[in-house]
Amino acid sequence: MVAPTHVIGPKVTSAIEAAFGEAVRGADPVLRPSQYADVQVNAALALAKKVGLPPREVAARILEHLDLSAECTDVEVSGPGFLNLTFSPEWLGSLATATAADPRLGVPEQPRQIVPIDYSAPNVAKEMHVGHLRTTVVGDALARTLAFLGHDVIRQNHIGDWGTPFGMLIEHLLDVGEGSSQAGLLETDPNAFYQGAREKFEADPEFATRARTRVVSLQAGDPDTIAHWGTLIDLSTAYFNRIYGALGVTLTDEDLAGESMYNDQLAGVCSELEEKGIATISDGALCVFLPGYTGREGKPVPLIIRKSDGGYGYGTTDLATIRYRVADLHADRVLYVVGAPQALHLNMVWDTARAAGWLPEDLPVVHVRIGNVLGSDRKILRTRSGAPMRLWSLVEEAVGAARLHIDGSRPDLSEDDRAEIARQIGVGAIKYADLSVAHDSEYVFDLDRMLSLTGNTGPYLQYAATRIKSIFRGLGSAPEDHAADIVLVEPAERELALHLLRFGDVVAAVGDALEPHRLCAYLFELAQAFSAFYENCPVLKADGPTRDSRLALCALTLSTLTTGLDLLGISSPDQM
Which H or E run includes 366?
strand 365-370
Candidate segments 62-70, 117-125, 220-228, 557-565, binder of ligand ARG by CB under 6 A: 117-125
Which one, 325 or 423, has the nearer CB to ligand ARG? 325
Which one, 11 or 390, has the nearer CB to ligand ARG? 390
161 binds ligand ARG (CB under 6 A): no
The maximal CA–CA distance of the chain, rounded, in angstroms, is 88
> How near is the Cβ of 241 to ligand ARG at its closest, in Å?
17
Please give the angle made by the CA atoms of 29, 35 and 40, to the nearest 5 degrees.
Answer: 15
118 binds ligand ARG (CB under 6 A): yes
Cα-based distances in Å from 411 to 414, 453, 460:
8, 18, 20
> How near is the Cβ of 576 to ligand ARG at its closest, in Å?
35
| 40, 84, 123, 549: which one binds ligand ARG (CB under 6 A) | 123
> How near is the Cβ of 321 to ligand ARG at its closest, in Å?
5
Query: SS3 for 238?
Result: helix
> How near is the Cβ of 538 to ligand ARG at its closest, in Å?
53
How many angstroms separate the CA atoms of 93 and 487, rounded?
Answer: 5
158 binds ligand ARG (CB under 6 A): yes
> How near is the Cβ of 353 to ligand ARG at its closest, in Å?
12
Which one, 156 or 462, has the nearer CB to ligand ARG? 156
Which one, 71 or 259, has the nearer CB to ligand ARG? 259
Please give the angle made by the CA atoms of 105, 110 and 115, to the nearest 5 degrees.
Answer: 120
Using CA atoms in the order 261, 143, 573, 399, what is the torsion angle rounded to 10 degrees?
A: 50
Candidate segments 8-16, 118-126, 191-199, 458-466, binder of ligand ARG by CB under 6 A: 118-126
Candidate segments 39-47, 54-62, 116-124, 279-287, binder of ligand ARG by CB under 6 A: 116-124
Which one, 256 or 500, has the nearer CB to ligand ARG? 256
> How near is the Cβ of 262 to ligand ARG at its closest, in Å?
10
| 160, 163, 428, 573: which one binds ligand ARG (CB under 6 A) | 160
Which one, 9 or 315, has the nearer CB to ligand ARG? 315
Q: Cβ neighbours of residue 325 under 8 Å, at least 6 residues apart?
A: 116, 156, 331, 334
Using CA atoms in the order 479, 482, 488, 493, what is the torsion angle rounded to 10 degrees?
A: -20
How many angstroms separate the CA atoms of 415 and 421, rounded?
Answer: 10
For residue 310, count other CB atoms closer than 10 A to its CB: 11
Candidate segments 115-123, 354-362, 411-419, 430-438, binder of ligand ARG by CB under 6 A: 115-123
Which one, 81 or 160, has the nearer CB to ligand ARG? 160
Which one, 117 or 496, has the nearer CB to ligand ARG? 117
Determine phi and psi for 435, rounding to 5 degrees: -85, -25
121 binds ligand ARG (CB under 6 A): yes
Indicate the residue whose CB is closest to ligand ARG: 121
260 binds ligand ARG (CB under 6 A): no
Cα-based distances in Å from 107 to 6, 474, 480, 561:
11, 30, 18, 13
User: Where are the strands (E) in 61-194, listed by range?
Assistant: 72-78, 82-87, 114-118, 152-156
Which H or E run includes 193?
helix 190-203
Give, as one character, the DSSP assignment of residue 111. P
User: CB of 471 within 8 A of CB of 540?
Assistant: yes
Site size for ligand ARG, by CB under 6 A? 9
User: Where are the strands (E) in 220-346, listed by range?
Assistant: 279-282, 285-294, 300-306, 334-339
Which H or E run includes 373?
strand 373-374
Identify the CA nearest to 263 among candidates 311, 195, 191.
311
> How near is the Cβ of 272 to ligand ARG at its closest, in Å?
19
Residues 313-342 that bind ligand ARG (CB under 6 A): 318, 321, 336, 338
Which one, 82 or 336, has the nearer CB to ligand ARG? 336
> How near is the Cβ of 80 to ligand ARG at its closest, in Å?
45
Which one, 194 or 472, has the nearer CB to ligand ARG? 194
Question: Strand 152-156 relative to strand 114-118: parallel, antiparallel, unpaired?
Answer: parallel
Which H or E run includes 39?
strand 39-42
How many angstroms separate the CA atoms of 444 and 428, rounded?
Answer: 17
Which one, 119 or 524, has the nearer CB to ligand ARG? 119
> How near is the Cβ of 128 to ligand ARG at its closest, in Å?
9
Q: In the stretch 265-304, what mask flags binding to ligand ARG with x, by CB under 6 A? A: ----------------------------------------
> How near is the Cβ of 559 to ligand ARG at its closest, in Å?
35
Residues that bind ligand ARG (CB under 6 A): 118, 121, 123, 158, 160, 318, 321, 336, 338
